[in-house]
Amino acid sequence: MADEKPGKRIPTGRLARVGRLGALAGRIATNVVTQGAGQWMKGERPQLSSLLLTPGNITRIADQLATMRGAAMKVGQLISMDGGDFLPPELAEILARLREDAEPMPKAQLIEVLDNNWGKGWQDRLLYFSFAPVAAASIGQVHKAITMDGETLAIKVQYPGIKDSINADVDNVASLIRLSGLIPKDIALNTILEDAKIQLHQEAEYQREAEMLSRYAAYCDDSPLFVTPTVYPTLTTDTVLAMSYLNGDPIEHLQSEDQSVRNNVMSSLLRLFFQEVFDFRLLQSDPNLANYRYQKDTGKVVLLDFGATREIPASISDGYRTLLQAAYDNDAALMRTTALKLGLMLDTHSPRQQDAVVEMGLTACESVRVDSPYDFGKTDLMLRLHEMGMSLTYENNFWHVPPADALFIHRKLGGLFLLAKRLGAQVDMQEVASPWISTPDS
């Protein structure tokens, strides 16, 4: 058995978790009063936001949320991805820190969780179990184990108390973030938070994740490009997921590979995205780079973490296929009618607002109109989209939040675009998208 890493015990009860946030708010309030009084003594008029978001308070907030894990940590991740373009730098710093790995559970708490799931004496039924996690994130942490018959497994253990605290954690953290007064009131934060609650409840159901993993794996069984873990059902429970352990390097290591290798891997990942939306109608919606590993010896990409897998309704799938065709044809009229049908914008939005949404959509898909490899490493597409998004929001007063399915599709595609840029990949997007678009020659 391997040595444990140091960790902080996770508060499991609702009162304990609320108390953590209450104590944090109290410490921040004390700092606000102390610093505010000092500024008044100097004849200065302090601003509440500047007192709340001092470097010390930023550290306190981020550390407390990371210690609580679960929804307290995940909601920060989701808000930072959905509203990051509109957040002030101070809040963006807090939320960005929550995208880092969390501290692991201490060994005693981990044993307690596994005793409750596997029964006491479980260690005697394994040849090896590493108490030091190989990964620790918002909902759970992953450990390596070897069965008596020599099979190496990855054991995903959910943090205790997470499932029962999701709704309260989301609400409490939202209140803490709103306390800053720096999030624009027009941002539909409640919509994002409700979507976060739904996703978190799904991610906390490990039997559901096992089912989604098995369904997704069936699509990849004969793939020469991708490999997925196999569920180990005898050790899988509602809060412990056992699956085969797959080796692989972090996907970022591809940066040192030849251009052709980077191009092929990125082309495969983008083609897989289209398959998810249009063929499988099953989307692994979390674009975290840790969910991809690269096996240099086999040339395959390991796909991990299916807790955030979503079923895509036929209407959404068909609508996005029409959007793809509109983008390829540079057909603004078709993109407008389809975006309205999908709820990406509303009839009540002004013609100017609708024009801006359509222009942004056509720009986002410019790569499919290029009849040669699109150089993600050199494009300024993400910068242009950011500027268009800021203009759409602040100049055109567009504060509409699309349906949840659309948000998750956009998040996944955005994550893939960022990975393509990091790898400096050159991808023939017309070739990648060709099975789902009609061309003059087809």
Of 273, 251, 76, the C-alpha closest to 180 is 76
CA distances in angstroms from 197 to 74, 162, 241, 280, 404, listed in the order given = 10, 12, 21, 25, 12
Do 181 and 46 reside in the same domain of the chain?
yes
Does residue 424 belong to any structural domain of this protein?
A: yes
**Structural domain includes residue 93:** yes
In this prediction, residue 287 has a pLDDT band, given cuts at 50, 70 and 90, of confident
* Domain membership flag for residue 47: yes
- Same domain for 350 and 264: yes
Flag whether the pTM goes above 0.95: no
- Domain stops at, among 148, 176, 203: 203
> Highest mean pLDDT range out of 173-182, 248-257, 400-409?
248-257
Task: Look at residue 96 and tell me whether its pLDDT is greater than 80.
Answer: no
How large is the average pLDDT for residues 306-315?
94
Instruction: Please say whether the beta carbons of 126 and 107 come within 8 A.
Output: no
What are the tens digits of pLDDT across the range 187-213? 566 777 787 788 888 889 999 999 999
Residues involved in catalysis: 286
Residues 317 and 182 in one domain: no
Residue 86's domain comprises 14-102+164-203
Percent of the chain with pLDDT over 70: 71
Question: Is 23 inside a domain boundary?
Answer: yes
What pLDDT shows up at residue 330? 96
The pLDDT assigned to 49 comes to: 42
Kindly state whether residues 265 and 387 are assigned to the same domain.
yes
Q: Are 409 and 314 part of one and the same domain?
A: yes
Among 144, 178, 203, the domain-final residue is 203
Residue 118, domain member (yes or no) = no
314 HSE (CA, 13 A, CB side): 0
Q: Given a cut of 70, is residue 227 above it in pLDDT?
A: yes
Backbone dihedral region for residue 408 (phi beyond 0: left; psi -120 to 50: alpha; all else: beta): alpha
Evaluate whether residue 391 is within a structural domain: yes
Reading the block at residue 28, the tokens are 């921040």
317 in the same domain as 199: no
Give CA–CA dist 349/269, Å, rounded: 35
Is residue 258 domain-shared with residue 350, that is, in the same domain? Answer: yes
Mean pLDDT of the chain: 80
Of the listed ranges 156-160, 288-292, 397-401, the least confidently predicted one is 397-401
Q: Given the DSSP bridges, would you call strands 300-303 and 292-295 parallel, antiparallel or unpaired? A: antiparallel
Residue 143 forms part of a structural domain: no
Whether 220 shows a pLDDT value over 50: the answer reads yes
Looking at the 3D structure of the chain, how many domains does it have? 2
| Structure confidence at residue 136 (pLDDT) | 77
Same domain, 300 and 405: yes
Q: Residue for token digits 């409700």?
A: 194
Same domain for 439 and 304: yes
Q: What is the pLDDT of residues 98-142, one digit of tens each?
A: 555 456 788 999 999 999 999 999 999 999 999 999 987 778 899
> Helix/strand/coil (H, E, C) string of 48-104?
HHHHHCCHHHHHHHHHHHHHHCHHHHHHHHHHHHHCHHHCCHHHHHHHHHCCCCCCC
Q: What is the pLDDT of residues 2-36, one digit of tens each?
A: 444 455 554 444 444 444 444 544 444 444 434 43
Q: Which residue has the tokens 């289209």?
A: 274
Q: What is the pLDDT of residue 185?
A: 59
Q: Are residues 265 and 348 in the same domain?
A: yes
Q: Which amino acid is at 34?
A: T
If asked whether residues 87 and 186 sit together in one domain, one would say: yes
pLDDT digits over 357-407, tens only?
Answer: 999 999 999 999 999 999 999 999 988 888 888 788 777 777 677 888 898
Query: Which range has the top average pLDDT, 143-147, 167-171, 192-196?
Result: 143-147
The pLDDT score that the predictor gives to residue 188 is 60
Asked whether residue 130 is assigned to any structural domain, the reply reads no
The whole-angstrom separation of Cα 43 and Cα 336 is 55
pLDDT at 428 over 70: yes
Chain-centroid distance of CA 62 in Å reads 18
**Domain end: 177, 203, 229, which one?**
203
**Who contacts 109 (Cβ-Cβ below 8 Å, separation ≥6)?**
7, 9, 10, 160
- Residue 171, judged by CB atoms within 10 A of its CB (0-12, 13-18, 19+), counts as middle
Q: Are residues 190 and 277 in the same domain?
A: no
pLDDT, tens digit (0-9, with 9 covering 90-100), for 32-64: 434 434 434 444 443 434 434 455 555 555 555
